[in-house]
Amino acid sequence: RIDSPRPLVHQLIRHLLIDVGRQHPQALIYPLVVASKSVVRDREVAANRVLNNMREHSHTLVQQALVVSEELIRISILWH
């Protein structure tokens, strides 16, 4: 898990996600955006670290995914 309390596991997962995100950013973008809005602080921080790395090579994709996520949240709030 991205927020594993075990440092080695946490580091390996982060590096794996960064490598996958470099090759296939579209596969990770939405799950990372969702995790970046988590109420669990460790999960939020870990997801934001990977997203920040992805911004270096896929800036537009990350920004667009964040906008879509915000709009989906806004629409769901207004729906009720």
What is the residue extent of each domain of the chain? 7-79
Q: Kindly tell me the sign of the dihedral angle through the C-alpha atoms of 19, 24, 25, 29.
A: negative
Task: Retrieve residue 52's tokens.
Answer: 């920040």
Alpha-carbon dihedral 71, 30, 11, 60, rounded to 10 degrees: -80
Asked whether the predicted pLDDT for residue 80 surpasses 80, the reply is: no
* pLDDT at res. 13: 96
25-70 pLDDT, tens digit per residue, is 999 999 999 999 999 999 999 999 999 999 999 999 999 999 999 9
CA distance 60 to 31: 17
Give this prediction's pTM.
0.87
* pLDDT at res. 19: 96
